[in-house]
Amino acid sequence: MEKLITYQIDSFTKEKFNGNPAGVVLNADGLSDEQMQLIARELNNSETAFLISPDDNDCDGLIRYFTPKTEVPTCGHATIAAMYAKALEENLDTCVLRMKTRIGVLPFEIIKENNDYQVIMTQGQFELNPTFDDSTTQRLIADLGLRKSDLNERCPIQIASTGHSKVMIGIKSREKLNSLTPNYQDLINLSKQIKCNGYFVFTFDSHDKDILTYGRMFAPAIGINEDPVTGNANGPLGGYLIQNKIINTKDTYFEFNGRQGEVINRPGVVNVKVIIENGKPSLIQIKGKAIVIFRTEIDI
């Protein structure tokens, strides 16, 4: 009987029961897709990451991500959790691991400091779709419980991606952000039309000089009505802000903190860094802290 080393980690926080919880299975070699899906369903986090031994000399290992319902190509908070658990389990020093994902081989940096770790995830190539047409926009804002007057006119509604796409919706008020009650079934129906399962609503309405944006992310089409703190939303947001010139900078990089999860009492902070070439994002990284909730073994 094989024993699967399994962690539950809260990412983007150092306080237990905050941030975004993820499952991690460190020794997933030999598990079938069905077994991984069942384990993810049993742990019932928004994502569970499975670490698998390398299949060639071009990577240090494979990583796969499952929601309780389906496999997804990449996940920010589950990457932070997986690298944090691996670092603890193997007592790693500061290093870079090249992990093969469904969107390619990506470098994940583990930083050891004061007997603890932070993780920097390099995300996939940034992509930005055209702005939504008027009818799709009207349908979307109705599904979210917004009015056109709530929207930040500087922020076009577009799909942005660093490997797992999200719709970017900028609004004016943090109060409005916190009062949103979306129609989840309508968002599921819309996801089928636009071929994107995540909706990231954000605002610059911040009274904290260290926090640029506050956000909420809804993905009911993959079984996540609201995700607490989303690396694959805050990362693409950085690219979106640069490419649309919503943030003007003459530097070769742009860095900010995005806060998320307050309404559902799981607050956390994602640090985002965007490398800029010729006025466009060329590389996006997210950095996060993490904390262990439990370590166990699953007999299978």
> What are the catalytic residues?
47
Token digits of residue 109: 């940096």
What tokens appear for 206 in the block?
Answer: 């911040």
Pure H helices in the chain: 33-43, 76-90, 134-144, 174-179, 184-194, 231-243
- Please report the sign of the dihedral spanned by the C-alpha atoms of residue 72, residue 73, residue 78, residue 82: positive
Distance separating alpha carbons of residues 172 and 156, to the nearest angstrom: 13
The C-alpha atoms of residue 272 and residue 187 are separated, in whole angstroms, by 27
What is the separation, in whole angstroms, between the first and last Cα of the chain? 6
Half-sphere exposure of 231 (CA within 13 A, CB side): 34
State the Cα–Cα distance between residues 198 and 175, nearest whole angstrom: 21
Q: Tokens for 153? A: 């006119």
